[in-house]
Amino acid sequence: MTLHCDETKDRMMSFTRMLALLILTLVAQSAIAQTQDPETRPAEARTGPEKYQTLYLTSQAEQRDANDIVSDLRNMLPRAKLYYVSSQNAISVRGTPDEIALAQKILSDVDRTRKTYRLTYTIRETDGGRQIGTQQFTLVVASGGKTTFKQGSKVPVVTGVINDGTPSANSQVQYLDVGLNIDAALDAYSDGLKLKTKVEQSSVADEKSGVGAQDPVVRQTTLEAMSTMIQGKPIVLGSLDISGSTRRQEIEVVSELVR
């Protein structure tokens, strides 16, 4: 009788050990599956046959914007095949009906035309506290883009002389841009605009350079500013002292939505 009880106890202990080992194995496999890289997991069953469709971008997207959209689609639809046709501003998609439907939904959310703004820069010049002149310059900038404005002259500078044995030596000349340069980069967000501006004002001085008789002296003043703007409300970016004079310039900018 004792022997029979011992055998029953041994069988119960053996069954308990096997059950515990099975539970540990299932838990370990579940943990491995959760931590496994998605790309190395077994492919899930794809429902429906594959089909092909061309999706056209409705906005006038630049190459960088189109690449971002295609990258987004490839990350969201890793099993679908996508190719951007730049000449047609279109994306060719091959996948299941569900994948193509999701691609259309994503495209409708991210393919939007950038807003365009008109920036009006006003430069007021004073001398001894008295206003002596006002200039206005208008730039059109798309959100996320950049516009450059230049006004002035090209001044020749002799950088070297080539003596090729002929009676007259040939001079090497480079040209400097002298005048007004404005660079404007704009980003729109929910509550306003973020504007990065660089204003350069340069002029040729009356005195001559001590390096060479023909080398001009160029005076230059630069203002760089990062500003947060509210549409329609002007802000002062800063003031510039004109080198070699008692004059001073104040730079103001205001934005207006074009479309």
Contacts of residue 180, Cβ cutoff 8 Å, sequence gap at least 6 = 137, 149, 150, 151, 152, 199, 200, 201
Dist. CA 57–CA 60, nearest whole Å: 8
Conformation bin of residue 164: beta by default, left when phi > 0, alpha when psi is -120 to 50 = alpha
Claim to verify: residue 220 and residue 140 sit in the same structural domain: yes
Taking only the tens of pLDDT, the chain with its 259 residues reads: 444 555 666 666 676 767 666 676 766 666 665 555 444 444 455 556 888 999 988 876 677 778 888 889 999 999 999 999 888 888 999 999 999 999 999 988 888 777 889 999 999 989 888 888 899 999 999 888 889 999 888 887 777 666 655 555 566 778 878 888 999 999 887 778 899 999 888 887 776 665 655 677 777 788 888 988 888 899 999 887 776 678 888 999 999 888 7
Please state the pTM of the whole predicted model.
0.59
- H-helix or E-strand containing 42? none
Claim to verify: residue 95 and residue 140 sit in the same structural domain: no
Claim to verify: residue 125 and residue 214 sit in the same structural domain: yes
Looking up tokens 């001085």, which residue turns up? 205
Among 92, 110, 128, give the residue marking a domain's end: 110
Claim to verify: residue 252 and residue 143 sit in the same structural domain: yes
- H-helix or E-strand containing 77? none
Among 72, 91, 110, give the residue marking a domain's end: 110
